[in-house]
Copies of this chain bind each other. A is one copy, B any other.
Amino acid sequence: MIISDRMYALGSARSVIRELFEYGNMRAAQVGRQNIYDYSLGNPAVPSPGSVNETIKDILDSQPSIAVHGYTSAQGDAGVRQAIADDLNKRFGTAFGRDDFYMTCGAAASLAICLGALVTPECDEVIAIAPFFPEYGVFAGNAGAKLVVVPADTTAFQIDFKALEAAIGPKTRAVIINSPNNPSGAVYSEETIMKLALLLARKSAETGHAIVLISDEPYREIVYDGLEVPFVTKYYKNTLVCYSYSKSISLPGERIGYVLVPQEVEDHDRVYAAVCGAGRSLGYVCAPSLMQKVVGRVTGQTSDIDEYRKNRDLLYGGLKEIGYECVKPQGAFYLFLKILGDDTEAFCERAKALDLLVVNGTGFGCPGYVRLAYCVDYDMIERSLPVFRKLYDSYK
C-alpha cells in the first residue's frame, strides 16, 4: 500500500512522553501506584472550575438542541468572540473586537492554522526558541516550513538575543514564543518582550517584510507570586496569539481555543482571511459548538492555580535542599532540572530505575535538562523527594 512516508513516520514514532507515561502505568500495576513517581505528562491535575459544568448544564437546559449543537459561523459564534474580546480588553487594556478572533480546536490547531496562513515557499523559516514544545517542528513541517532553533539561555530561560539575531534571515517568516514556558516554567519578563519587539521591528525593516511573532500562550493565566505576564500584542504589532483553554480551566481534551489577529497587524483583513482559509484547508471550520458557548461564558476564570503553586513550592524547595540546580518556575506547571553528570539519557535511565519518570530535555531542544510536570498529586511529590535524594547521592 502506498502511504505518505512522512505521515507514517509521524504516526509510528512513539512519543517519548507517552511511552514513559505508559511505562509508568505498567510499573504501577506491578509495584503499586504509590511507588511510582510519574512526572511525565502535562495533563492538568486540578479540576475545571465548577462553573464549567454548571454552564454546560445551563446551556443544555435553556437553549434548543439545534442551537446548542448546530454549526456556528466558520470563525466561531459572534457572541462568544465578543465575550472573549471584552474579557481581554478588561484585563489587559486592549481594544480587540470580535472580528479579530478565529475560534479553533485548541492550541495545536491554532498553531497549524497560523503557520499555514503565513508560510510561503519563498519565506519558509520559522524560529523556535529553546526550550520549546517539540510539536512545533511537526506543525512547521505540515506548513512546508523549516524550524530554526535558537539555543536556550540556560541562565534564566529568557532569550539569548545574540543567538536569536543570528538565526533571523531573509526567509524568516515568524518567531514562536511560549511564555509561561513549557518545559522551563519561565515567564518572559517585560524587558525580554521589549527587547524582542525591538529586534523584530529592526529585522523586519532590514529584510523588507514583517516578521510575525506567534505567541503560543495556553499557560497565560498559570503564574505564581503575583507575577504579571506582559500581554505581547501591546509590545509588538505584528503578533498573532494562539490560545487554548486546555490548561487555564483544565479542558485539555475538549480542544477549544482561538487565534487572535489584532487590528494592529499589518494587512489585518488579509491576514485574518488567510487564517480562515488555513482553517478551512486543514478541515477545521466551526470549533466545537457547545464548548465555544461554555468558554464564552467562563473566559477569564481559572482552575485553582494555588494548587499548582503549592506543588511548585514543595518540589522546588525539596530539590534545591537536596542540592539540585534549577531555575525557579514562575508559571505553567513544569520544572526544568539540570541533570547530574553529563549524559542526559543516562540520567533519565538512572531515574527510571528508581521509578522516577522524568522527560529528557533534548526533545525540547535543551540537552542537559529534564522536565518535571508537577501537575500531579501533592502527596506524590512528597513521596518522591527521598527518591530524588537517592538519585542525587548515586552521582556523588
Closest B-chain residue to A251, C-beta based? B69
Q: Is A45 an interface residue (CB 8 A)?
A: yes
Distance of A112 Cα from B284 Cα, bound (Å) = 10
A266:B105 contact, CB within 8 angstroms: no
B10:A280 contact, CB within 8 angstroms: yes
Q: Is A7 an interface residue (CB 8 A)?
A: yes
Chain B positions within 8 Å of A290 at CB level: 253-254, 290-291
Chain B positions within 8 Å of A274 at CB level: 3-4, 7-8, 11
Chain B positions within 8 Å of A52 at CB level: 65, 69
Q: Mark A368-392, 1 if CB is under 8 A from B, else 0.
A: 0000000000000000000000000
Q: Mark A271-291, 1 if CB is under 8 A from B, else 0.
A: 111111111111111111111
With contact pairs A53-B60, A69-B250, A173-B2 given, residues A288 and B285 touching in the complex (Cβ less than 8 Å)? no
A118:B48 contact, CB within 8 angstroms: no
Distance of A48 Cα from B280 Cα, bound (Å) = 26
Give the interface residue-count category, chain A. Answer: 35 or more
Q: Which 5 pairs show the lowest CB-CB distances between chains A and B?
A: A253-B289, A11-B277, A10-B277, A112-B283, A11-B276
Chain B positions within 8 Å of A262 at CB level: none
Q: Is A198 an interface residue (CB 8 A)?
A: no
Q: Is A120 an interface residue (CB 8 A)?
A: yes
Distance of A10 Cα from B283 Cα, bound (Å) = 12
B265:A1 contact, CB within 8 angstroms: yes
From residue A5, how far is it (CB to closest CB) to chain B in Å? 8
With contact pairs A2-B118, A105-B255, A253-B286 given, residues A69 and B48 touching in the complex (Cβ less than 8 Å)? yes
A116:B4 contact, CB within 8 angstroms: yes
B120:A253 contact, CB within 8 angstroms: no
Q: Mark A68-95, 1 if CB is under 8 A from B, else 0.
A: 1111101000000000000000000000
Q: Is A43 an interface residue (CB 8 A)?
A: yes
Binding site for B on A (CB under 8 A): 1-12, 18, 43-45, 47-48, 52-53, 56-57, 60, 64-66, 68-72, 74, 105-106, 108-113, 116-120, 122-123, 135, 138-139, 141-142, 173, 209-210, 212, 238, 250-256, 265-267, 270-292
22 residue pairs from A and B, CB less than 8 Å apart: A1-B238, A1-B267, A3-B118, A7-B274, A7-B277, A8-B277, A12-B270, A43-B66, A43-B71, A44-B70, A45-B66, A52-B65, A71-B253, A108-B283, A108-B284, A138-B280, A139-B281, A142-B281, A254-B290, A255-B288, A288-B291, A290-B291
Distance of A252 Cα from B287 Cα, bound (Å) = 10
B65:A288 contact, CB within 8 angstroms: no
Distance of A60 Cα from B139 Cα, bound (Å) = 33
Greatest chain B CB density within 10 A among A1, A69, A72, A210 is at: A69
With contact pairs A1-B267, A116-B4, A173-B2 given, residues A10 and B109 touching in the complex (Cβ less than 8 Å)? no
Chain B positions within 8 Å of A289 at CB level: 253-255
CB < 8 Å neighbour of A44 from B5, B64, B66 = B66
With contact pairs A70-B43, A105-B284, A280-B11 given, residues A4 and B117 touching in the complex (Cβ less than 8 Å)? yes
Distance of A5 Cα from B276 Cα, bound (Å) = 12
CB < 8 Å neighbour of A9 from B135, B277, B284 = B277
Distance of A261 Cα from B266 Cα, bound (Å) = 44
Closest B-chain residue to A255, C-beta based? B288
From residue A155, how far is it (CB to closest CB) to chain B in Å? 33
From residue A171, how far is it (CB to closest CB) to chain B in Å? 10
CB < 8 Å neighbour of A281 from B44, B141, B280 = B141
Distance of A290 Cα from B138 Cα, bound (Å) = 26
Closest B-chain residue to A113, C-beta based? B283
Chain B positions within 8 Å of A45 at CB level: 66
CB < 8 Å neighbour of A123 from B2, B139, B250 = B2
Chain B positions within 8 Å of A251 at CB level: 69
